[in-house]
Amino acid sequence: MTSETSAPNRLDTTADNLTEDSTQQGLTAEQYKRKMEKRKAVQQQRLAERTVEKGLIIVHTGNGKGKTTAALGMVLRSLGHGYKVAIVQFIKGAWEPAEKAVFEPWSEQLEFHALGEGFTWETQDRDRDMAKAEAAWNVALTYIQNPTYRTILLDEVNIALKHGFLSIEPVLAGLAQKTPDTHIILTGRGAPKALIDQADLVTEMKLIKHPFREQGVKAQPGIEF
């Protein structure tokens, strides 16, 4: 996947330059103090010039672990702020009972739908996969069009897009209908470029090591579910 990074502004660059050598070795105590004073002032200016608030289209993609977990962290934060949250899971079983149980006390704020199939090698039925993915998308759309939901997680929707079970056009058109305050998080490997282009916040989890691969370690409670 290619991801373009947009140009940072002048203050961002100054901040980066001031902390470029993170050990700051070779500086006297006085030099270090002055540099950090300057860094703090830059940081205060950076915070002051960021005044915009908006609902974001957020994409978690890539082959490394953490796409769904990071999205769950945002769900947790949203619930803590009293927001209504909807989760539509595009792959059945991706969501484990432990997470479901934790969210049980939040049932007044949280709607949860497990609507996917296993996909591809599990179902071995492409027409059925497509019908399931489309049905899941239609449920997602009802939340996107409902302004009372502030955070919407479409877990593993990128997989449905990647396999062509769901077309990108209606998804982009649906995302464009969201209310300005609403955050929508789309997770899964292989997010299409058109989705990345429309998103505001995109993170690619990069695989460096995974014990399932290198050590034959199975999925473990607390880590994977």
Write out the residues near ligand ATP by the rule CB under 6 A.
Answer: 63, 65-69, 94, 156, 187, 189, 205, 207, 210, 212-213, 219, 224
- The answer to whether the beta carbons of residues 136 and 88 sit under 8 Å apart is yes
Contact pattern from residue 46 through residue 85 relative to Mg ion, giving x for each residue in contact according to CB under 5 A and a dash for the rest? ---------------------xx-----------------
Interhelix angle 10-18/29-49, rounded to 10 degrees, is 160
Active-site residue identified among 4, 23, 121, 218:
121
CB of 10 to ligand ATP, least distance (A): 35
Phi–psi pair at 149, nearest 5 degrees: -90, 120
Contacts for 39-47 with beta carbons within 8 Å, 24 or more apart?
39/15, 42/11, 42/14, 42/15, 42/18, 43/15, 45/11, 46/11, 46/12, 46/15
Q: Is 77 a catalytic residue?
A: yes
Count CA within 13 A, CB hemisphere, residue 104: 6
CB of 29 to Mg ion, least distance (A): 47
Interhelix angle 126-144/168-175, rounded to 10 degrees, is 10
Asked if residue 151 binds Mg ion (CB under 5 A), the reply is no
Count CA within 13 A, CB hemisphere, residue 129: 20
39's contact among ligand ATP, Mg ion, none, with CB below 5 to 8 A by partner kind, is none
- Structure tokens, 45: 């200016």
176's contact among ligand ATP, Mg ion, none, with CB below 5 to 8 A by partner kind, is none
Quick one: 68 or 109, whose CB is closer to Mg ion?
68
Within 8 A by CB and 6+ apart from 76, the residues are none
10's contact among Mg ion, ligand ATP, none, with CB below 5 to 8 A by partner kind, is none
Q: Is 65 a catalytic residue?
A: yes
Asked if residue 89 binds Mg ion (CB under 5 A), the reply is no
- Please report, in angstroms and rounded to a whole number, the separation of the first and last CA atoms in the chain: 27
Quick one: 162 or 178, whose CB is closer to ligand ATP?
162
Q: Is 187 a catalytic residue?
A: no
Q: Is 5 a catalytic residue?
A: no
Give the residue numbers marked as catalytic.
63, 65, 67-69, 77, 119, 121, 156
The residue ranges that bind Mg ion (CB under 5 A) are: 67-68
